[in-house]
Amino acid sequence: MSAEAGANRPPHHHPLQNRVDPFGALHAVSFRGSMMGNRGGRFHHPAQDLGTRHWASRQWLICLCDFKDRRREVWGRGYTELFFLDEITALAAGHRPCFECRRDAARAFCAAVGVTSAPALDELLHRQRLQEGRKRSFAAPWQSLPDGAMFAIGTQAYALAQRRALPWSFAGYGPAARLPLNLEVTVLTPPSTVLALAAGYRPQNAPDAGLPH
């Protein structure tokens, strides 16, 4: 379920630790991004901080920030709202489109993955995004990946767009990097999501993220 992000800062005006990077980690930074989501419920504390567990269930969603004029108190009594630069970032972190606010995208994603239900998709992605509580990844040559996939070289994440590797940051994407053609990289996007992208699923991009449309 999505909603418009209303007050997205606690009373002391510090950013909440709810901005998601492509590795799936949560940060407290001022850049909100163009999409919101959640991880299946509430896992923040009443003081608007986090414990050691950064998810509530296997339903890791990608939602719209604006849906049916709804207003929410972010990190209030409801679920723990999260924010992403764009859908490419959210997919890399292990999330999938919401079946309420993004029904068409969710159906297209399921079809591209080859599953018939949201529970089956959540079960599949949960096995692929975490390993002993940490981000699961795999190695592959970067040019073997489809557009929309994300990978890392060291601690720097990149998104593929029109066969160009664009360095990621919370503020957007930088100029394309020059990488060796056969360089093996750490792929952050889960395998099933990589297959969905290769099958034609088109992520929703932030208009100012620097990615070509």
The predicted structure's pLDDT at residue 205: 75
pLDDT per residue, tens digit, the chain (213 aa), is: 444 443 344 444 689 999 999 999 999 999 888 999 999 999 999 999 999 999 999 999 999 987 777 677 789 888 999 999 999 999 999 999 999 999 999 999 999 999 989 999 999 999 999 988 889 999 999 999 999 999 999 999 999 998 899 999 999 999 999 999 889 999 999 999 999 999 999 998 754 555 544
Give the global pTM: 0.90
Quote the pLDDT of residue 196: 97
**What is the pLDDT, as a whole number, of residue 193?**
97
Q: Which of 58, 70, 22 is nearest to 167 (CA)?
A: 22
Q: Measuring CA to CA, which residue among 90, 101, 108 is closest to residue 66?
A: 101
